[in-house]
């Protein structure tokens, strides 16, 4: 991230996941941005800042030539915790409720096996912008 933007209130400076500008910009991407600007769409050099409208390039989580991820940055350090179980290749199919409180999830693996997981305290649902509302609807919300 350019030094001037590090002091902005929208960007942290001390977290483990490094966010910055892309070093390579494909010629077609440059042409797309230029064409959008020629139609009157304002250039935005920071979609993580005060304004999210416009055309520009998104920041990436690439540091030293390697893609950063939540798994590598946060999850790797806590995988051995006794209260954490990670299932890969599975998709949550429904959120379970006890009254109005979410208490677990039902899931299906890529091979078709099904299962359920219960939450002892909090349940965090982070299935993305499209899948989260779909999952809530499938769960009766």
Low-confidence ranges of the chain (pLDDT < 50): none
Q: Does residue 82 sit within a domain?
A: no
pLDDT at residue 130, rounded to an integer: 92
Domain limits for position 20 = 3-77
Q: Report yes or no on whether pTM surpasses 0.85.
A: no
pLDDT at residue 80, rounded to an integer: 93
pLDDT at residue 136, rounded to an integer: 93
Is the same domain home to 37 and 95? Answer: no
Q: Does residue 83 sit within a domain?
A: no
Q: How many CB atoms lie within 10 A of CB 105?
A: 20
Is the same domain home to 42 and 98? Answer: no
pLDDT at residue 2, rounded to an integer: 57
Query: Can you read off the two tokens belonging to residue 91?
Result: 């998709």
pLDDT at residue 106, rounded to an integer: 96
Is the same domain home to 112 and 71? Answer: no
pLDDT at residue 94, rounded to an integer: 96
pLDDT at residue 121, rounded to an integer: 86
Question: Residue 57, CB half-sphere, CA atoms under 13 Å: how many?
Answer: 18
Is the same domain home to 95 and 63? Answer: no
């Amino acid at each position: 991230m350019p030094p001037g933007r590090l002091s902005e209130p929208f960007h942290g400076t001390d977290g483990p996941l490094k966010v910055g500008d892309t070093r390579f910009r494909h010629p077609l991407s440059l042409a797309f941005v230029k064409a959008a600007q020629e139609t009157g769409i304002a250039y935005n050099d920071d979609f993580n800042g005060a304004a999210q409208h416009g055309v520009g390039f998104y920041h990436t989580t690439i540091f030293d030539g390697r893609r950063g991820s939540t798994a590598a940055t946060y999850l790797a350090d806590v995988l051995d915790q006794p209260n954490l179980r990670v299932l890969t290749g599975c998709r949550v199919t429904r959120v379970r409720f006890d009254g109005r409180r979410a208490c677990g999830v039902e899931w299906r693996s890529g091979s078709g096996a099904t299962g359920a997981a219960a939450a002892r305290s909090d349940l965090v649902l982070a299935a993305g912008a499209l899948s989260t509302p779909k999952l809530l609807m499938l769960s009766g919300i």
